[in-house]
Amino acid sequence: MMRKVQWTWGPMPVRKAGEGLSNRSIRSNELQNMPSAGHVPSAVGHYHCKESVSRPEAALSNKPTGQKGKAMLHSLLALLVLLMCVVFPQQSMAHSAVVESSPSQNEVLEQSPQQIKIRFNEDIQRAYYSIKLMDSSGKVIQPIEAQIDEKDGTVLKANVPMKLAGDIYNISWKAVSGDGHPVQGGIVFQVGDGAGKNVNDTDIRISDKPVNPMLVVMRWLQYAGQAMLLGALCLTLFLLPQRLRTGENTGWMMSGRYRWFVIAGSVIALAALLIQLPLRIAWDADIPLSGTGAEVMTTLQGTVFGKVWLLQMIFTLLGIAGLLIMQLRKLSASARKVTGLAAFVLLIAALLAKAFDGHAYAEPYAGIAVAADFIHLLSALIWSGALLALALFLPKIAGLYQGEERRSVYWSIVRRFSWWAIVSVAALLVTGIYGSLIYLPELNSMFTTAYGLTLLGKILLFLIMAAFAGMNYVKGRKQEEELGKDLIWEVLTGFVILVLAAILVHLSPMGGSLVKVKPEQITAQTLQVEGYDVSLKVTPLEMGSNDFIVTVKDAKGQPVDVEQIEVTMTHMDMAMAPAEFTMNSADEQNGVYQKKSMISMNGRWQIDMHILTKKLDSMDVQFTIKVG
């Protein structure tokens, strides 16, 4: 037989002498005065107990509740890991780039090729790829049907349907890279007139599509909605003192404001996710929105984005369901806690799935990069969401109490949040530095590319937000002046940071510079850029093989040692992929850099050059030439 002690909240009953309990409230600091070992006091509050005698098996009947909750969470975590392994069995090893092709760039062939074959450095996604072949007049050679090799996912190929006449041809290809971004490129080759010669070993590069503003808006709304949901859960599960998470103290959770907060976050997150699907299909497939319906299954089955989107939708729906169930009045305290933790894990899983659709998934060490991206986003959303929840509900929760008790409740919540904020700041700092190091090709890109400038703005806002957090932490330590407008400004700064985070998702770290020199309609010219004189001469300036001659001099007229010059040629009158090649020290003689490359057709060409000196200074120059 064993003694069963049942604790209930309420006023202390008056007992007669000798019953083993004095006529007073029991508090945690009175443990040494307890007259009976069978009476266990509460840490906070006033309790009374009822004693009864029961059998051992009856006394043990309450233990499985907590164990079942833990087992449920462990099973849920195991299921999430299994889903990730099934959906993402392979890792992409780098940004998509062409490693070889047949015909190769600037190759001169004696006979017409029978097949076009392009090999990438990673598997490309099996959706929204194409190959287009044009002659020097811009006429498209049809039909060209592109396909990915069944045995080798790195190879994009197409049969040439006819014998090509002697001419210069341009291959324009499109694909979706391992990180989910649409990429495209061009390969120029010649048939006839100089068979067997390899004009040069040029570098074949890729370019990214412009950002769709609506995709950025929807991504930000998704982040905002998820931050609201995570903030609501953080407040109820972790920030409130233990005695405010159960019983009659949870009545504020049933209030209209809290319910509407959860509903608003749910609607925003789900609507943004739903709208992203057709927008992303149109962006990837390069089709109008009206034609996206027929491509839904192709996206869900053939792209990383489609699988990620489906997982995000499932996890978000289940997480929202758990949040709504938490607010049922008849739910027990233990059931509410388990349901809330399950909802929290599911919403976090949605963020983990998102990390597989982006720059991180295409890095050489994808596992580390994905983990860093996930931790970075999770920290930002929890910090922003918990801040918003505090701003909206802390006055209401503290307002349930008066005097010293109100002060105690208010600052205990603030202190708990301060530790969450410190951990979030540390995680954002470490993962942010790591991301900058692996994504940006060089430090100068921070100031000359759209990705770098956006990242720089995000860093500056993060520092401002951290300063607000520091001020609020000091207030929490002093416990004199309650948080006011500083908290609101911190919330607004956090959500602006989420806007920049949404923009970064759709920008390429390898994108070109924003600093351009106004083009001039001449074939050879010297332009002054950042204290340097850059000269370009193209000869004989006609279709076919041409010499590109570049000189770079400093302000004193002395030749500058150049590490490399990346040249991009874009036809200004014809929709075709740009041709690109690279000059380096092997192409230099007496301060002049010279290399042969093909010009595939007549018309106006824009020549963009990104120059990197031995001193690691970089500059961007833009010329315009007219051929024919």
Residues 6+ positions from 86 with CB-CB distance below 8 Å: none
> What's CA 279's distance to the chain center, in Å?
17
Structure tokens at 384: 């922003």
pLDDT digits (tens, 9 = 90+) for 162-196: 888 888 888 888 888 766 777 777 788 888 874 33
Interatomic CA distance for residues 532 and 119, integer angstroms: 38
Give a yes or no: residue 518 inside a domain: no
Give a yes or no: residue 310 inside a domain: yes
Are 32 and 165 contained in the same domain?
no
**Averaged pLDDT, 140-149:** 84
Give a yes or no: residue 510 inside a domain: no
pLDDT of residue 470: 76
Q: Cβ(126)–Cβ(114) under 8 Å? A: no
**Averaged pLDDT, 9-27:** 39
Q: Cβ(254)–Cβ(329) under 8 Å? A: yes
Interatomic CA distance for residues 591 and 477, integer angstroms: 64
Are 540 and 608 contained in the same domain?
yes
Domain boundary among the residues 472, 505, 538 is at 505
Give a yes or no: residue 569 inside a domain: yes
The CA angle 143-148-150, to the nearest 5 degrees, is 125
Are 268 and 357 contained in the same domain?
yes
Are 193 and 311 contained in the same domain?
no
Are 386 and 264 contained in the same domain?
yes
For all residues of the chain together, what is the average pLDDT?
Answer: 75
Structure tokens at 522: 């001449």
> What's CA 374's distance to the chain center, in Å?
8
pLDDT digits (tens, 9 = 90+) for 546-571: 889 999 988 888 888 899 999 998 88
Domain that holds residue 53: 2-62
Q: How confident is the model at residue 211 (pLDDT cuts 50, 70, 90)?
A: low
Quick check: 4 pLDDT over 50? no
Give a yes or no: residue 440 inside a domain: yes
In the 3-class helix/strand/coil scheme, how is 226-271 assigned residue by residue? HHHHHHHHHHHHHHCCHHHCCHHHHHHHHCHHHHHHHHHHHHHHHH
| CATH number for the domain that contains residue 598 | 2.60.40.1930
Domain boundary among the residues 438, 472, 505 is at 505
Quick check: 575 pLDDT over 70? no
Q: Which of 207, 118, 104 is nearest to 158 (CA)?
A: 118
pLDDT of residue 205: 41
Domain boundary among the residues 161, 186, 208 is at 208
How many alpha carbons lie under 13 Å from residue 63 in its C-beta half-sphere? 6
Interatomic CA distance for residues 164 and 174, integer angstroms: 22
pLDDT of residue 129: 85
Q: Which run of H or of E encompasses 588?
A: strand 588-589
Give a yes or no: residue 515 inside a domain: no
Q: Which run of H or of E encompasses 151?
A: none
Are 402 and 482 contained in the same domain?
yes
Instruction: Give burial (CB, 10 Å; 0-12/13-18/19+) of 280.
Output: buried
| CATH number for the domain that contains residue 146 | 2.60.40.1220
Q: How confident is the model at residue 598 (pLDDT cuts 50, 70, 90)?
A: confident
pLDDT of residue 71: 58
Are 144 and 219 contained in the same domain?
no
Q: Which residues of 169-194 are buried (b: 16+ CB within 10 A; e: fewer)?
A: bbbbbbbbbbbbbbbbbbbbbbbeee
Which one is predicted more confidently, 277 or 524? 277
**Averaged pLDDT, 247-258:** 68
**Averaged pLDDT, 220-229:** 94
Write out the DSSP string of 303-336: -HHHHHHHHHHHHHHHHHHHHHHHT-TT--HHHH
Are 449 and 582 contained in the same domain?
no
Residues 6+ positions from 306 with CB-CB distance below 8 Å: 127, 298, 299, 300
Are 203 and 222 contained in the same domain?
no
Q: Which of 169, 158, 160 is nearest to 118 (CA)?
A: 158
**Averaged pLDDT, 115-122:** 87
Q: Cβ(229)–Cβ(265) under 8 Å? A: yes
Give a yes or no: residue 137 inside a domain: yes
Q: How confident is the model at residue 89 (pLDDT cuts 50, 70, 90)?
A: very low
pLDDT of residue 361: 60
**Averaged pLDDT, 514-527:** 52
Are 204 and 216 contained in the same domain?
no
pLDDT digits (tens, 9 = 90+) for 449-500: 777 788 888 888 888 877 877 776 777 677 666 676 667 777 788 788 878 7
**Averaged pLDDT, 432-438:** 78
The CA angle 251-345-390, to the nearest 5 degrees, is 45
pLDDT of residue 326: 85
Quick check: 273 pLDDT over 90? yes
Which one is predicted more confidently, 117 or 437? 117
Q: Which of 443, 369, 437 is nearest to 618 (CA)?
A: 443
Are 370 and 276 contained in the same domain?
yes
Structure tokens at 627: 């051929």
Please name the amino acid found at residue 318. Answer: L
Give, rounded to a whole angstrom, the gap between the first and last alpha carbons of the chain.
Answer: 104
**Averaged pLDDT, 8-30:** 39
The residue behind tokens 């290809």 is 173
pLDDT of residue 441: 59
Q: How confident is the model at residue 276 (pLDDT cuts 50, 70, 90)?
A: very high
pLDDT digits (tens, 9 = 90+) for 20-54: 433 333 333 333 344 433 333 333 333 333 443 33
Rama region for 135: left / alpha / beta (φ>0; ψ in -120 to 50; rest): beta
Q: How confident is the model at residue 10 (pLDDT cuts 50, 70, 90)?
A: very low
Are 303 and 404 contained in the same domain?
yes
Structure tokens at 574: 């014809």
**Averaged pLDDT, 361-368:** 67
What are the angstrom distances between the C-alpha of 25 and each of 8, 32, 40, 475?
Answer: 13, 14, 13, 33
The CA angle 545-206-542, to the nearest 5 degrees, is 20
Quick check: 511 pLDDT over 70? no
How many domains, the chain? 4
Q: What percent of the chain has pLDDT over 90?
A: 15
